[in-house]
Structure 1
């Protein structure tokens, strides 16, 4: 494989936690091949795009990606003054479309992205939502040789707000210098700079936090009255997502019961059980499985090697070690101790 092929291929490597991995770096290829290599790389990503620039442009760009639960967080940095145009036509949508929404956050330089009849110019800290299933086009330009943007791509239906509310904001500029959008910008910056320190358990928590924060941005932009206009099915999905987020945030509470969950959401216990039944699950089973996943991740984390198995189990709500050990073995086929030893050897 040539150097150009190596640099232009998006590597599908496994990695722990949420650390950002580089998927393209123009400095790895000769100057005259950089633009073609970059075009090839962005044509192979899950949301492929076409790139246009002056022929032979000596671009200097680096792309990185990290997974935060269901959210793909991507970073694009450029240290050149090349004017780059970006297109996602129907032919590329037909080639690959994850049927997702995307939040684009401008961090340095300027971006203009048009989808439908909206094409705002985004200054640093501005942001906008886009739909991967619809064509868009735009351009990016560095300022003083510096450009940086981040994208958060997530499947439809995962936000604790109805999809139609996200669609109503597609392409609309959001000022990230103030209010909850300013907090969103701060969080995106920290995600990109601190990712190497996140454990698997951190990733699970952070994905819920980021999804809730994006929903808060939407709520602030549209106002609370908009959410009330959602259809009954949408409101039911919002309630289900809110309940799941509530459970994820409180998995360590051994007193997390259906009664407490229902009271926190102002619904009856009967309706709570029905909501889980509609999803082919039970309340108790969902809590148990989520707790076991957190324990499994912590036991495999070398940074928590000094923490006892009993303490990890208690951290996630299992106060009876014998009961926890039996559940863990029946679910994963190994005892908690054997699971930890297996990952230590790896």
Structure 2
């Protein structure tokens, strides 16, 4: 569970938990984990997860989820979701299987209100977009470990778009009616299109406005109503994409300049200055610290695995 940044896991009787897990990470940093185990409890919160959202789908067995004043018996036609870094508790029965998905804030971009607004809840998977989303997650659970990273790319994009659509009215002003709600929903749809264009170093507000079918002035007003600017949003999203790629094992062989150019920066010097101003450290320092954290995680996982094997021998 260390790789998933999940809190302490235990059997209610205090015994080691038997099970198996398959984890796959996408290019945008989404983690997909198929977990099959005996009876166990996942309780608490893990601050190392980083800001973002998580999803949980019950594949077999019984489970109960609780967080704050929210509690529900989980079935395989619902998606449980929540914000990372918040206390929650999941109790699962014997012979259970779940799909756990962690979505970092960088992958969500500006398409949702801050993930902390979505502390815990469920999404109905019986109809509409919810049905399509949960069907895709069930299929992904069957294919996890066999699907290539390249083929996982359209899956992560579809997941984020469908999830954003379902969560659009859950919290904050996007749940309001009237003109304000309509403007926020329109900006959400425009940002979905912009996500496919941020790689273009020549992208301007005029070009973006033409792409989404509005005037530059109207697009500027939409961002201003959300206390942002088009150029500020574009730069932030490019920096966030670079931030994720620099510590991704999938891009470890690429130079920092190659990563910057891929996401629309035309000058490596400008990129480095912007990155430091935004994140407080240079791209090189970020890449070095990210790789060090991955090595540390691997060491901790190996240590815990050794301890588990020793406990298993004692039980025999």
- Superposition TM-score tier, normalisation by shorter sequence: 0.5 to 0.7
Matched with 2:272 is none
Greater C-alpha Rg: 1
Q: SS state of the match for residue 69, structure 2?
A: coil
Change beyond 3 A, Cα 1:197–1:104 = closer
Q: SS state of the match for residue 43, structure 2?
A: strand
Task: String of CA shifts for 1:213-267, please: whole Å, max 9, x gaps.
Answer: 1112224778x9716587999779846732333438xx89xxx996564145343
Gaps of 5+ in 2: 224-228, 243-249, 254-263, 269-316
Taking the aligned partners of 1:65 and 1:196, their CA distance within structure 2 comes to: 11
> Are positions 1:85 and 2:41 aligned together?
yes
Correspondences of 1:247-326 after superposition (within 5 Å):
247=197, 261-269=208-216, 275-279=229-233, 281=235
Residue number among 135, 140, 155 corresponding to 1:191 in the alignment: 140
Pairwise CA distance, 1:63: 1.5
> Are positions 1:210 and 2:172 aligned together?
no
Taking the aligned partners of 1:52 and 1:237, their CA distance within structure 2 comes to: 46
Change beyond 3 A, Cα 1:100–1:60 = same
Residue number among 62, 65, 76 corresponding to 2:20 in the alignment: 62
**Residues matched between the structures, number:** 237
Q: Tell me the TM-score normalized by structure 1.
A: 0.53
Matched with 2:195 is 245
Query: Contact 1:113–1:171 at 8 Å: present in 2 too?
Result: no
The more displaced of 60-69 and 225-234 is 225-234
Taking the aligned partners of 2:134 and 2:115, their CA distance within structure 1 comes to: 21
Taking the aligned partners of 1:282 and 1:61, their CA distance within structure 2 comes to: 41
Taking the aligned partners of 2:76 and 2:64, their CA distance within structure 1 comes to: 12
Taking the aligned partners of 2:208 and 2:145, their CA distance within structure 1 comes to: 31
Matched with 1:49 is 8
Residue number among 110, 113, 116 corresponding to 2:68 in the alignment: 116
Higher RCO structure (Cα 8 Å, ≥6 apart):
2
Gaps of 5+ in 1: 1-41, 290-296, 301-326, 332-346
The more displaced of 120-129 and 187-196 is 187-196
Q: Tell me the TM-score normalized by structure 2.
A: 0.57
Query: Contact 2:168–2:174 at 8 Å: present in 1 too?
Result: no
Query: Contact 2:67–2:120 at 8 Å: present in 1 too?
Result: yes
